[in-house]
Amino acid sequence: MLQKFQKWWTLQKLHWKRRKESGTPLSFGRAVAGVQDILICLPENEKEFRVARYVLKSLPAEDEHHRITYLVPKEFAPKIPLRKIDQTVVFNGESRDELGRFTGELQQQLFQREFQAAVDLNTSFDFGTSLLCHDSQAQLRIGFASDYSHLFYNIEIEKPDEEFLLERAYRNIQRLLSLV
């Protein structure tokens, strides 16, 4: 698994596209530097949400360099481990149209802040959150690989088969964003 990730990471570095209009370029080392504002779309699947919540609990409370905005389903909103500088945007079925896209109101609420990174933690393809990550214009758009994910993300994570591998994938995303 580690060798696959290293191979994948090498390919991503070769294909990395940096937006020219960005004020602060991202730099690669073991992690990406320059990421301050992050949009995290939490999973709608309860099992995946529990794993994501467990991983997010490990974020340092005193870290004021990374401001995270969580997009979270209504039923999971009270369970989010928030830090003082974090923000939560809650959605329900009424927040989406018939194609699964998020409404303009929700997008306006989200895009008040300019994100350097947008992360979709849904392991199965969700058109709404994928499109939201793409529309965020973040330099770094991370999501799990699927048939169409290359159209929405510039970094794709291989979908894990087991729950303990899902935790590892979420932790790798944390390390990539320099959150831990």
- Determine how many CB atoms are found less than 10 A away from the CB of residue 112: 9
- Determine how many CB atoms are found less than 10 A away from the CB of residue 156: 17
- Contact between 50 and 129 under an 8 Å Cβ cutoff? The reply is no
What is the predicted pLDDT for the residue at 141?
93
Using CA atoms, how far apart are residues 126 and 133, in angstroms rounded to an integer?
Answer: 11
- Contact between 157 and 145 under an 8 Å Cβ cutoff? The reply is yes
As to burial, measured by CB atoms within 10 angstroms (0-12 exposed, 13-18 middle, 19+ buried), residue 103 is middle
- Contact between 96 and 73 under an 8 Å Cβ cutoff? The reply is no
Phi and psi for 84 in degrees, rounded to 5?
-60, -35
Using CA atoms, how far apart are residues 93 and 134, in angstroms rounded to an integer?
Answer: 21
- Contact between 116 and 155 under an 8 Å Cβ cutoff? The reply is no
What is the predicted pLDDT for the residue at 23?
44
Using CA atoms, how far apart are residues 129 and 134, in angstroms rounded to an integer?
Answer: 9
Query: pTM score, two decimals?
Result: 0.77
Tokens of 48: 């995946």
Q: Output the tens digit of pLDDT for each of the chain's 180 residues.
A: 555 565 555 545 544 443 333 444 444 445 566 688 889 998 888 888 888 888 888 777 777 778 888 888 888 888 877 777 778 888 887 888 888 888 888 888 888 889 999 999 988 888 888 999 999 889 899 999 988 888 999 988 888 877 778 888 888 888 888 776
Q: Domains plus CATH for the chain? A: 35-176 (3.40.50.2000)
What is the predicted pLDDT for the residue at 119?
92
What is the predicted pLDDT for the residue at 22?
41
